[in-house]
Amino acid sequence: MEIAEGIVSELAYSTAIEIAQRIRRREVSSREVLDYFLARVERLDGPINSVVTIDAERARAEADAADAALARGEIRGPLHGVPMTIKDSFQTAGMRTTSGAPELADFIPSEDAWPVARLRAAGAIIFGKTNLPLYAGDLQSYNEVFGTTNNPYDLSRTPGGSSGGSAAALACGFTPLELGSDIGGSIRLPAHMSGVTGHKPSYGIVPAHGQIPGPPGTLTLADLAVAGPMARSVEDLELGLDILAGPNRWEWRAWRLELPPPRRRSMREYRVAAWLDDPYCRVEPEVSRLLQKAAQALAQSGVPVDPDARPAFTLEKITDTFFALLQAALAGGVPRDRIEEYAATPGDTPVARTRRLLAMRHRQWLSYNERRLQLRKRWEEFFERWDAVLFPVMPCPAIPHDHSQPQAARQVWIAGEQRSYWDLITWMAPAGACYLPATVVPVGCLENGLPVGIQIVGPYLEDRTTLALARHLLALVGGCPRPPGF
């Protein structure tokens, strides 16, 4: 088949749905699409360093098999023949999976993580892995195995973390779809910093067995942690969620998942709150202006937006709960012989507080968990009147690289003020602490060219509501931006 020149020029920023349709219509073969993306990564990814492992030989064999199946009239699924990349924390059978750890630099899993298996079953062809921080444990993406991933809008800045390679690859047009993970904002923060879309699903609806950390073979699913789709369109996020969501390995024999449809039939019926700034974590003025402009665009399109509606708790309260639960979920990485030392750390610095939370007793965790449940009840009450809430993602755009240790001692500059590194995840708390779905879409770029995203949070298990609002808002603002030179 001779691939049309026009189709070649469109592939980089085509959606996964569009590519799948073109393959099914035989306007282009899976092998041609794959070779196009492989060549694009080789030509453009050098200064970005987003795609860190490629298995071209296997991917070409799978693409050829997809084309042969299509010639026989067989379509494996909605992503039949569509090439894509996967965050390097997800095990991929037969393809190196490192999670950025030197001790796993040559690790080749024998089986796929559950989300990867579901994407393959839908017809996707995994041709590469994208970069992340060591064991997915930072808001930036760098490690000793593959080095640093740079933001395509400004190489001196991070694309975010931990799904930073995923977001950068999407922004550069290296892949139409990605699989990310989020425990403290690892889908949402990179989507914001790199100008792409991402969906943090309601906790528990996407089986995530096969992620690293913990060690390969771990069956424990960490509190707060989810896997979810990243893309450049909300339609691809919706398709990704349809493919990924379902019962996990323990429940699939009896349980079924049926997410409710969007709450409203028309946009004018939605009731949206806008919590776009707060004295507890001020948002940079230029970022705030873009967020306010997006909320106004939503209101002008007929969606009722209330800037004053709030649930019955403070941002400080839910952030304190979220940060404590997050550190407890990450505590498996603390060496046993240092737990008592961490628990006795004196002082009120970010480092001291973080260490004490990493070493918290189970009794203390039970108290924080009860607080979480009380906050979930407050959210339930709020969502009886409102359908969704608009939030910032971060108080600032993508930050300059800073790999100093410990992370808790880092400082960031926000609107000329030096603040704690942990301030960057404050706005992750309202959805993260309470297991809520959150969709991030870009809403524009600052004068310096850096993209800004907005977070749409909805009721537990009502992911289709946040996605429907996100699809409408992204259309209003003109879609995802493209970094210069790509």
- Locate 470 and state its tokens: 């996100």
Place of tokens 């199946």: 69
Q: Percent helix, strand and coil across the chain, each rounded to 5?
A: 40, 15, 45
Q: Which of the four pLDDT bands, split at 50, 70 and 90, describes residue 7?
A: low
pTM: 0.97
pLDDT tens for 266-297 read 999 999 999 999 999 999 999 999 999 999 99
pLDDT tens for 234-274 read 999 999 999 999 999 899 999 999 999 999 999 999 999 99
- What's the pLDDT at 258? 97
- In the chain, where the domains are located: 5-244
440 CB-side CA count, 13 A: 32
The residue type of 159 is: P
Residue 464, pLDDT > 90, answer yes
Closest CA to 322 of 195, 425, 188, 467: 425
Residue 8, pLDDT > 90, answer no
State how far the alpha carbon of 49 is from the alpha carbons of 212, 225, 227, 266, 270, in Å. Answer: 21, 26, 23, 42, 41
State how far the alpha carbon of 408 is from the alpha carbons of 135, 354, 355, 356, in Å. Answer: 17, 7, 9, 12
Q: What is the mean pLDDT of the chain?
A: 96
Q: List residues with catalytic annotation.
A: 87, 162, 186
Ramachandran sector of residue 59 (left: φ over 0; alpha: ψ -120 to 50; beta: rest): alpha
Residue 5, pLDDT > 60, answer no
pLDDT tens for 124-141 read 999 999 999 999 999 999
* Mean pLDDT along residues 20-31: 98
The residue with greater pLDDT, 378 or 7, is 378
3-state secondary structure of 346: coil
* Mean pLDDT along residues 9-35: 96
pLDDT tens for 57-85 read 999 999 999 999 999 999 999 999 999 99
* Mean pLDDT along residues 342-371: 96
327 vs 41: CA distance, rounded Å: 36
181 vs 229: CA distance, rounded Å: 8
Q: Which of the four pLDDT bands, split at 50, 70 and 90, describes residue 221?
A: confident
- What's the pLDDT at 10? 85
Percent of the chain with pLDDT over 70: 98
* Mean pLDDT along residues 335-351: 94
The b/e string for 333-364 (b: 16+ C-beta within 10 A; e otherwise) is: eeeeeeeeebeeeeeeebeebbbbbbbbeeee
Element (H, E) at 316: helix 315-329
- What's the pLDDT at 191? 99
Closest CA to 362 of 265, 223, 230: 223
pLDDT tens for 311-334 read 999 999 999 999 999 999 999 888
3-state secondary structure of 28: coil
The residue with greater pLDDT, 446 or 214, is 446
- What's the pLDDT at 333? 86
* Mean pLDDT along residues 186-210: 98
Element (H, E) at 82: none
62 vs 315: CA distance, rounded Å: 48
| Greatest distance between any 2 Cα atoms in the chain | 69
Residue 44 CB: number of other CB atoms within 10 A?
17
Residue 9, pLDDT > 70, answer no
What is the total residue count of the chain?
A: 486
Report whether CATH 3.90.1300.10 matches the domain 5-244. yes
Q: Which of the four pLDDT bands, split at 50, 70 and 90, describes residue 1?
A: very low
171 vs 168: CA distance, rounded Å: 5
Place of tokens 């990349």: 85
- What's the pLDDT at 171? 98
- What's the pLDDT at 3? 53
